[in-house]
């Protein structure tokens, strides 16, 4: 089995470069990755996406990943800002023109037909010169899928549909002759899609399933899988990341990158960082969004067991349960090193104030990561 370290897609796509710890910026197409009404959080405008994506060029991140959201979390408040999100496919096409990072679209399976999705992905791969990646999500918010008249499937069937969807995409991306597909969820007659993506055999796939079924799906189809880090201990993390890699290797003969999600608050002192965290999570925290999210999650998703979700309320508001990177540049570097020792290949980063956060990162954290041997200078 070939390692992703020898992946030919490295020619165009920085996701396959040899930085020990890869990084991406997450959530710029929406209101960021927190539940806060602090005025510094973004508002899903293209102007902010463009400005921060250009700034992040100096940070040299490998990826820029949007989320996919069709409606907000707060029942009874249809215009709540948690529903603000630019469409991720068109956003990725535009963002590819202002960054040299890999650009992703995040796509719900049931909201787009695989033939349309395959062509959109191939188009963005062409526009970006082979830097596109697709984050496939099966969906977790029933009310947003209800808007499509697509009754949300039970958890198992959701992933069974996602498997058919991705198999059709792969055929469309790689086959030069038309094919028929007769599945339980999709029927394709004489399917063909031209032109092909630049990346061969197809652009990288990311998946963030948290359940056993989600993990199976990611191990079988994805190049980048996510874990929500539940412990600070690198050995415990290593057990989880190794288990993931083993599953992909032994069951499917594949080698995947394991990523996680983090929120960052940097200060000149730890106290300053804690005060800033408190400012956006406690003083300006959006408890209505948190309640809505908890309800939706507990009903339809298995990302985390319910008791862990309860204990994670603060982290959910701070960054959807991501790993905490709060403190001085030295402390943040230390914790990123911790993740790397725990077997994490990449981290998706979010800030409550992206511009301020990325500026501080470029000045203080970036040089320390090079010194720590985690990334090239």
Ligand X SMILES: Cc1cc2nc3c(=O)[nH]c(=O)nc-3n(C[C@H](O)[C@H](O)[C@H](O)COP(=O)(O)O)c2cc1C
Strand pairing report for 179-182 and 187-191:
antiparallel
Q: Does 30 bind ligand X (CB under 6 A)?
A: no
Question: E strands within the chain?
Answer: 22-26, 63-65, 102-108, 132-137, 179-182, 187-191, 205-207, 224-226, 257-266, 323-327, 346-350
Report the first-to-last Cα separation within the chain, whole angstroms: 31
| Interaction pattern, residues 212-241, with ligand X; x per rule: CB under 6 A | --x-----------x---------------
Which member of 23, 49, 63, 67 binds ligand X (CB under 6 A)? Answer: 67
State the DSSP string of 160-221.
HHHHHHHHHHHHHHH-SS-EEEE-SS-EEEEE--SSPPSSSS---EEE---SHHHHHHHHHH
CB closer to ligand X out of 35 and 138? 138
Q: Which of residues 340-359 bind ligand X (CB under 6 A)?
A: 348
Enter the DSSP assignment of 9. G
Closest approach, Cβ 141 to ligand X, in A, equals: 6
Q: Does 140 bind ligand X (CB under 6 A)?
A: yes
Q: Which residue's structure tokens are 């965290």? A: 277
Which member of 72, 110, 203, 209 binds ligand X (CB under 6 A)? Answer: 209
Count of residues near ligand X by CB under 6 A:
21
Q: Which stretch binds ligand X (CB under 6 A): 197-205, 296-304, 305-313, 366-374?
A: 296-304
CB closer to ligand X out of 60 and 139? 139
Q: Which stretch binds ligand X (CB under 6 A): 42-50, 66-74, 178-186, 273-281?
A: 66-74
Q: Does 106 bind ligand X (CB under 6 A)?
A: yes
- Of 183, 229, 218, nearest to 322 by C-alpha is 229
Distance CA 188, CA 115 (A): 9
Closest approach, Cβ 275 to ligand X, in A, equals: 27
Q: Which stretch binds ligand X (CB under 6 A): 54-62, 135-143, 146-154, 330-338?
A: 135-143
Q: Which stretch binds ligand X (CB under 6 A): 62-70, 193-201, 275-283, 305-313?
A: 62-70
Strand pairing report for 205-207 and 224-226:
parallel
Distance CA 355, CA 262 (A): 16
Question: Rounded to the nearest 5°, which phi and psi values hold at 62?
Answer: -80, -30
The site for ligand X (CB under 6 A) is made up of 67-69, 106, 108, 137-141, 208-211, 214, 226, 261, 301-303, 348
């Amino acid at each position: 089995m070939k390692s992703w370290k020898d992946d030919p897609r490295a020619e165009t796509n920085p996701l396959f470069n040899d930085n020990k710890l890869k990084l991406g910026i997450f959530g710029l197409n929406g209101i960021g990755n927190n539940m806060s009404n602090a005025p510094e959080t973004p508002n899903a405008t293209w102007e902010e996406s463009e400005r921060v994506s250009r700034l992040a060029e100096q940070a040299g991140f490998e990826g820029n990943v949007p989320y996919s959201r069709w409606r907000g979390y707060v029942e009874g408040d249809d215009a709540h800002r948690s529903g603000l999100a630019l469409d991720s496919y068109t956003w990725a096409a535009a963002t590819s023109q202002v960054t040299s990072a890999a650009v992703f679209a995040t796509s719900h399976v049931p909201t787009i037909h695989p033939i349309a999705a395959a062509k959109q992905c191939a188009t963005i791969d062409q526009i970006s010169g082979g830097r596109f990646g697709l984050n496939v999500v099966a969906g977790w918010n029933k009310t947003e899928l209800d808007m499509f008249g697509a009754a949300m499937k039970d958890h198992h069937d959701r992933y069974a549909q996602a498997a058919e969807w991705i198999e059709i995409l792969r055929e469309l991306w790689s086959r030069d002759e038309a094919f028929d597909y007769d599945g339980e969820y999709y029927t394709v007659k004489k399917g063909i899609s031209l032109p092909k993506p630049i990346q061969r055999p197809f652009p990288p796939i990311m998946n963030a399933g948290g359940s056993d079924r989600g993990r199976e799906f990611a191990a079988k189809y994805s190049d980048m899988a996510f874990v929500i880090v539940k412990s600070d201990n690198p050995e415990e993390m290593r057990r989880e990341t190794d288990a993931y890699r083993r599953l992909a290797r032994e069951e499917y003969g594949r080698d995947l990158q394991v990523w996680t999600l983090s929120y960052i608050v940097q200060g000149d002192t730890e106290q300053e960082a804690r005060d800033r965290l408190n400012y956006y999570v406690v003083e300006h925290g959006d408890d209505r969004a948190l309640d809505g999210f908890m309800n939706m999650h507990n009903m339809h998703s298995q990302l985390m067991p319910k008791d862990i979700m309860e204990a994670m309320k603060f982290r959910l508001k701070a960054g959807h349960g991501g790993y905490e990177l709060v403190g001085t540049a030295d402390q943040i570097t230390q914790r990123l090193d911790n993740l790397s020792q725990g077997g994490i290949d990449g981290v998706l980063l979010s800030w409550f104030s992206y511009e301020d956060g990325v500026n501080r990162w470029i000045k203080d954290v970036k040089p320390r990561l090079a010194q720590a041997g985690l990334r090239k200078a």
